[in-house]
Structure 1
Amino acid sequence: MKTQFYGACSLDGFLATPDHDLGWLLQFGEIEGSSYPAFLRGVGALAMGSHTYEWMLRHAVDAGQPWPYAQPVWVFSSRTLRPVDGADVRFVGGDVRPVHEAMRRAAAGRNVWVVGGGALVGQFYDAGLLDELIVQIAPVTLGEGLPLLPRRITQPPLRLQSVTTLGGGFAELRYEVPRPGQSA
């Protein structure tokens, strides 16, 4: 069981535009050879930031598509957000540690997916709960926006596990996140 970030960012390291938009990524559609289907089969619970959740509402649910996750989703927010009928969505706030324990129990041996955004991924990293980063680097630059991981991580450095080319334009990087005190 791992706690993983899985997602895409621009070549210059941004997950979204300054106004939290992911539209730049939609131009690529389904990426040939994507690891997403296999990744999702291994997920037992999800952590999601409020802006990511609202984006999903606007671009999936409000567009007439069903909620895409059968797994329970914990949405971290300090605001009141509307639920999705029939979806197992739980709204939480504060420290990620006690929520992570509940997520692990619900995942029942499968992985916990920290969907985003970057600030939420950083909170899991800060708490020593993040095990792996799986990042698809898109062949575009945004110039500004919301960073992939707004943290300084130098010691110990992340450990590169693999690099894969996807669809001729994306590179998928997999990094293990060592715990402080572990050698690289």
Structure 2
Amino acid sequence: MSRNEGNAQERCVTLHMVSSLDGFIARKDNSVSWLESTGSVYEAGVTISEEEAASFVKTIDCYVLGSRTYEHALELGWPYGDTPVMVVTGRELPSARKSVEFYAGDLKTLMDVQLGPRYRNIWLVGGAMLCQRFLELGMVDEIRLVIAPVLLGEGLRLFSGGMAEERWSLKNVVAYRNGFVELSYSAARA
């Protein structure tokens, strides 16, 4: 349930994104190969086993992606398995899997009519414009931002400005051995 509708029991929308230290989610050419280079090991960091990661991913009921994120996922080998995926786009794109649906229209209708009645744990995983629009509409309940240990200098920003100031409550911080840090925030409730 989005925070504007007042009933968090029904659904939770999580914005999940990986960003460079300087706030970019992709290079200027939209590549994300910088995610593969981890740099030095942070000895005090935690590691997650494949079993733990697989168990966690099973708790996600649905992913929401923009068209470019969908295309990247296809190029990278489809990390979403058979979990339902909704691609928000006005473009005609090939359907690579039975679990993929396409949507062009009002985002509130998408959440209230298409996804909300069917799914409880919805993850919004990109792109930047789609995530920003969800935030502007008050349809994000939590943010999980993973910071990679790299400065890109330029590229596609996660947050490009123009949003109203809004406070979020820190829920958790996890430092990983590969140098990545995950920050988890929940929407501040009035």
Instruction: Tell whether the structures are fold-level matches, with TM greater than 0.5.
Output: yes
Q: Structure 2 vs 1, CA of residues 151 and 130 (structure 1 numbering), >3 Å: closer, same or farther?
A: farther
SS at match of 1:6: strand
Tell me the distance in 2 between the aligned counterparts of 1:123 and 1:154. 12
1:84 to 93, 96, 99: 96
Partner AA of 1:127 in structure 2: L
Residue correspondence of structure 1 range 163-178 to structure 2 within 5 A: 163-178=173-188
TM-score by length of 1: 0.82
Q: Which residue in the other structure is 2:48 paired with?
A: 33
SS at match of 1:140: coil
TM-score by length of 2: 0.80
Instruction: Flag structure 1 segments of 5+ consecutive residues without an equivalent.
Output: 62-66
**How far did residue 132 of structure 1 move?**
0.6
Partner AA of 2:37 in structure 1: Q
Tell me if the contact between 2:136 and 2:163 (Cα under 8 Å) persists in the aligned partners: no
Moved more, 32-41 or 95-104: 32-41
User: Does 1:106 find its partner at 2:118?
Assistant: yes
Q: Which residue in the other structure is 1:64 paired with?
A: none
1:46 to 55, 63, 76: 63
Tell me the distance in 2 between the aligned counterparts of 1:94 and 1:14. 27
RMSD of Structure 2 on Structure 1 (CA):
2.4
Residue correspondence of structure 1 range 6-155 to structure 2 within 5 A: 6-28=16-38, 32-33=47-48, 36-60=53-77, 68-85=80-97, 87-101=98-112, 102-107=114-119, 109=120, 111-152=121-162, 155=165
Q: Structure 2 vs 1, CA of residues 128 and 145 (structure 1 numbering), >3 Å: closer, same or farther?
A: same
Deviations 1:144-164 (A, max 9, x none): 111123345564312211111
**How far did residue 178 of structure 1 move?**
2.8
Tell me the distance in 2 between the aligned counterparts of 1:160 and 1:153. 19
Deviations 1:42-75 (A, max 9, x none): 21111101111001112215xxxxx633221110
SS at match of 2:146: strand
Q: How many residues align?
A: 171
**How far did residue 36 of structure 1 move?**
4.8
Instruction: Flag structure 2 segments of 5+ consecutive residues without an equivalent.
Output: 1-10, 39-45
Tell me if the contact between 1:45 and 1:104 (Cα under 8 Å) persists in the aligned partners: no
Higher relative contact order (Cα pairs below 8 Å, separated by 6+ residues) = 2
SS at match of 2:152: coil
Tell me if the contact between 1:46 and 1:103 (Cα under 8 Å) persists in the aligned partners: no
